[in-house]
Structures are given as C-alpha cells and as structure tokens.
Amino acid sequence: MTLDLTQFHDTFFEESFEALGSMEAALLKLTAGEADAELINTIFRVAHSIKGGSATFGFTEVAAFTHTLETLLDQLRSGQRQVQSPIVDALLRSVDVLREMLSATQHKRPADAAAAATLHAELQGIMQQAPAQAKAPTVDTAPPAAAVATEGIAGWRVRLVPGQKMMAHGNDPLRMIRELAALGSLTTRVDAAKVPTLKDLDPEVCALCWDMELHAGCDRAAVENIFEWAMGECTLGIDALAGTGTVAGAATPAPAAAAPLAPAVPAAPAAPAAAAASPAGVPGAPRPPPSAERSTVPAGEGGSIRVSIEKIDELLNSVGELVITQSVCSQLAASLEGRRADDLRNALVQFERHMRALQESVMRVRMLPIASIFNRFPRMIRDLGQRLGKKLELRMSGEHTELDKTVLEKIGDPLVHLVRNSVDHGIELPEARRAAGKDEQGTISLHAYHKGGNVIVEVSDDGAGLNRDRILSKARERGLVGADEELSEDKILNLIFAPGFSTAEVVSDVSGRGVGMDVVRRNINEIGGHVQLYSTPGKGSTVRIRLPLTLAILDGQLARVGQEIYIVPIVSIVETIQIKREQINSLAGKAELLRLRDEYIPIVRIYELFGTQADHTELVNGLLMIVEADGKRVGLFVDELLSQQQVVIKSLESNFRQVTALAGATMLGDGRVALILDIPGVIARYMEQPARASREAA
C-alpha cells in the first residue's frame, strides 16, 4: 500500500504561508552589516522546511527555487557574506515569489515562471559576486555535539534505522539517502535482517536498515540537516570516518547480514530536500510531520490540533440552539408555582450559568489575535516608503487583541486601504516635513484595544491632515454637495467615503482612483462595525473603527411594532426620543422629517417599510430611535421599546433569498422569531421608496 501524501497538502500549504510570514518579519528586522545569528537562523529554517516539504510532495519548482535561496542564506549564516540592503530586498522579493508559487501550486494553476526565473538569476548573480567578508555570527548555528573541526576528517559513517511510524508520518528514507549522496561519494549497504515474512509484512513500516559511508569534506551539521525532520522517528548514528577524532553520535555495530547496493544510490534529479516536515515550528525545534499533529496529547503536556472552521461553526451553532432552548425553559418556568417550581427555577439559573460559560469557551476557540493582520504592514510600509521617497516609521500596539476569525478576514482589506492612504495622502515628503518644523520621518500608528464590549482599531498618522476646503471643492465639482449648501465639519470629512471620491491630482498605483474609502466603510458596515474620522490640519488624521467581537452574537435593543418584534444593533443607536408635534416637518407631502438640534432627520415608519400593522400611526404616540450608518441618520418609528439582550444571529439566506434591510433573525425566550435590522440596508431601502413611487406613478 502506497502512502497517500495528498492528505498532508492542505496542512503543508497553510503552515508554509504562516512560515513565510515569520520569514518576512525576520527579514524586515535585518540591518546592513553584521548578521544577527538568530534572525538568519529563523529565515534559513523556513527556507529549509519549505524546500524539504516541497520535494517530499513533488513540488519540484518550489524546491529548486528554495534551494538557491537556502544557499545564499547559508552564506549569510556562516559569515561568508555581509547583510546588505540589496540582498535583503532580493530576499523579500523571494518571499513574494514563493507565496505566488505556493498559491499557484495549491490551486493547480501555472506559476509566474518568468518572475521566478528573473529573481533566481538575480540570486545567482549575488552569490557569484566576491563576498565582502563578514564577522561570523556570535551564536553557534550547529548543535553542541557537532562543534568539532572537520580538518582531517575523510567523511562520515551513517547508520539509519527507521522507526515504526517513520513512513506513516511521510518521511521517505530513500529520499534522504539520495540527498546524502548529493553531498559527495556515498557507499550504501542495506540490512534486511529484520524484514518479516510476507504474511506479517506491514507496508507502512520500513523494516530495512542502512549503513552508509559518505566521503565528503562537509561538517556533521550538513549530514544532520538531511535527517533533521525525521529525528524521533528513527535511530541515527553518525561517526567520523577518520581524522582528528570521533564526533559524538549513536554508533551502532555493523550488521550481521548485509548486502551491498550496486551502485550507491544516485542523487535525485530535483533539488536536495529534507524530510517532510511542518514549517510552522519556526523558530525553534523541528515539529513532527502533519499527521503527528493529530495524535493524542499526553496528559500534563501542552499541545494543539488543527480543526476546520466549519466544525467550529457547527459547534457554535449547536451551542446557540442550546442557549435558545435554555431561554425558552426559563420563560416557561417563570409561570409555574410551588416548591418544585422554585427548585426548577434554581436549576435553570445554574443551567444558564453553565451555558454562558460554554458559549464563551466556544467563542474563544474562534478568536485570533489581530497581529495576524498587523504583521502584513511592516513590509508594506517599507515598500511604499521606498517607492514614494518618504521616510516612514510604523508603530503598532495591541497586537494581541483578539477578534473573531470572520471579523479578522473582513477587516484586512479596509486596513490596507487606510494605511496606503495615510502614506500617500497623509505623510509629507521629507523636505515638506522639515519646512513645517517636523521630523522628516513620518509615523504611521496601528492601535487595537477593547472598549465597551467592542474592539477599537485606530489607524493614525502625523501628516498634514485632511484639507477640508479641497474636499468640499471636489465634492461640489462632482455634484455631491450643492453650490450654496453649508455642511458641518463632520459631514465634510465624511465626504471622502463617497463612492469614487478622490482628491489626488495624479492617479497612481498607490491611490487616486477613488475606489478605497467607500470600500472601507462598506466592508466595516457589513460586519456591524462603525467608522469615525478625525483630522487636525498640520497634525495628522485618525480613522477609528469600532468592531463587534464576533458575528455570531449581537447586543441588541428589542423594539415592538404591532405584534412584531425587531432587534436593532445597539452599536447603531444614537438616542431614543419621544416626538413632539412641533418637531415634525413634511417635505412636499411625501417625506417626514424630525427637526432635532438644528438637524433634519428622515423618519422611517417600520410598519410601512415591512408591510405590517402597528398600534400607533400618529408619530406623537410612539417612539423614535435615532440610528446612524454610513454617516447618515434616520429615525425609526416604533410602538414600544423592550429589553436589551444578547441574541444568537441566524442567517436567513440559507432558506430565503437576501432581504434588504434584514441582517438575520433570532429566537426569543417565548419561542417567537425576531428579525434583526440591518441599519445601512434600512436607510438604503427607505431612500429607494420615493424613487420607486415616482416610477410607478409615471
């Protein structure tokens, strides 16, 4: 039976992309001059891991490219070559090429061979240049047992005894032998003494052993690297053939029965590769192959397993159903009487406490630190600064603040837009900053923190700030604002979120096409968030994003309209008021407006919007909830406000088509279904009504 390695592909790709992030972060910390041994080792281990895994799975193009990259890194690691800016730039571009190659391989599409070939030639050119001698790193890159001079050593005697699980975990001994042969002249003898009879043979267990003599001038570390990812899965002995002494190792006596292989195993045509391994352990000790991650963690030891997000979603959905059932039971028990009823209610209180704890525990499983998003920006800031001729510093704080995985996925692109805008529009050129009395190096800040049950993410810069006059002028040119219309400062700033709005004089690949800020607001609103903008001329700007911790649970205000219960996200509510008749104004007999503190706010009658019956049609008899989204405010007319509570969001789209103005539904404690309002959708649906009425009349 042949081991199916495709079962490990997803894990390999996922961990390779994570490891490339570690590699990129380490490269950004490198400075010209002496090599930082720990950083170089981190980068080298990533390249070595990806090379080994790629060769194991037959991804020869990735393995070949990474082999060249590894050779250059080895020169830096050994002190043969100094760290220089052109080398760091080439290595950073190598990360990009590897990401593209791995992504293409993962999705079974052709990779950009031209880009890989061009960069490969550049790396070869760097290695062919005479290296400027550098001081060797202060931290020894080889294990203590290998710290022996190789002078006078003719080669190495290697004894390889595979363990029971070695092949099952994806480690191929023949491939390791082929890689060993690539180091020099290799003579190999196979020991078949432990091979069982055919009826007892297990095709996933390697019963062969090998004794090898390698004649090469390499050090022990080079030999150990080949078997690095199989450590713990085999018994390995390495001894010096001759020379100044014997290197410490687990030597094994020569086998009683051994047959020579004729000839010695040839080198593989692909780039040499280490055994299959998981690169996610970088930096640090090697990790077991992907299949080993699914083994049981011994008692008392820490560990982790990979679980698909779909399984976590199913678990969370089940917990949500239990929460609803618990709420129904509590509602039913409230009307019961007697001693047994009191006992039942007490038990239900305990049940509720345990359910909340279970719910919070499951929610934490989906939570990830925002560092996974923040970590992409150091590279971006570096590249944009070089391209635009600006000196930039990135400051980050709150990277360990956790958010739901789905929320994290949604805010990635908006944050990219905001950072690019800060660099392009906010931060001035060095000469302009000096003229303004500032440090010529501009600062971009990313800050995340918890506040009031939400997560706040701020993107700030110390640039020139927003030019209000220019924004207003551009808005009038585009017809977004009337020629004589007066706007508050807040509304002027919010004009930059209009679709297609841009103040850039020149369209570039960084910004200027007007497709950024409207995307920011739309994406944030889609996940129940809110965007605020602050700017001080000459001092800089700040965009503050308020995000829900999760998309599965919502803090909502229950509002009754007739017999229907609607839930309004608390994050969207500004205030609730009792209407007075003198505050009501009509516009051309169609729209109703509320005059509130010199601002006119459209009134949305919920019962008209959804075609239901209400207890009150006179505005003075009901309540008005002022809500905000996309920089616009409307008043929602309802009969009565009920309690505030957390609700479990259930999607409607799995059973119905998407309904404008509704974000989902939930089950209340009395068994009734309540609809959750999507405030941006409510505003959009209300704004469409007059236009639709005009079309129908025509």
Alpha-helical regions (H) of 367-488:
371-374, 377-388, 405-421, 430-435, 468-477
Same fold? 5-128, 553-697: no
> Hey, is 396 helix, strand or coil?
strand
Is pLDDT above 90 for 663?
Answer: no
As given in the structure block, the two tokens for residue 527 are 């996940």
| Distance (Å, whole) CA 405 – CA 427 | 31
Domain boundaries, the chain: 5-128, 144-292, 313-366, 371-548, 553-697
Residue 336, exposed/middle/buried by CB under 10 A (0-12, 13-18, 19+)?
A: exposed
pTM over the 0.75 mark: no
For residue 167, what are the contacts with CB-CB under 8 A and spacing of at least 6?
Answer: 3, 173, 204, 205, 206
| Distance (Å, whole) CA 290 – CA 223 | 23
Give pLDDT, residue 471.
Answer: 87
Which residue type occupies 243? G
419-433 tens-digit pLDDT: 998 998 899 999 999
Per the model's pLDDT, the better-predicted residue between 694 and 367 turns out to be 367
Whether domain 553-697 has CATH 2.70.70.10? no
Q: Specify whether the CB–CB gap between 569 and 578 falls below 8 A.
A: no
| Distance (Å, whole) CA 34 – CA 335 | 77
Q: Which of 12, 120, 104 is closest to 70 using CA atoms?
A: 120
Give pLDDT, residue 463.
Answer: 92
Q: Which CATH class is domain 371-548?
A: alpha beta
90-132 tens-digit pLDDT: 999 999 999 999 999 999 998 888 888 899 889 888 888 876 5
523-564 tens-digit pLDDT: 888 887 888 889 999 899 999 998 887 777 778 899 999 999
High-pLDDT (> 90) share of the chain, %: 20
Task: Determine the CATH number of domain 5-128.
Answer: 1.20.120.160
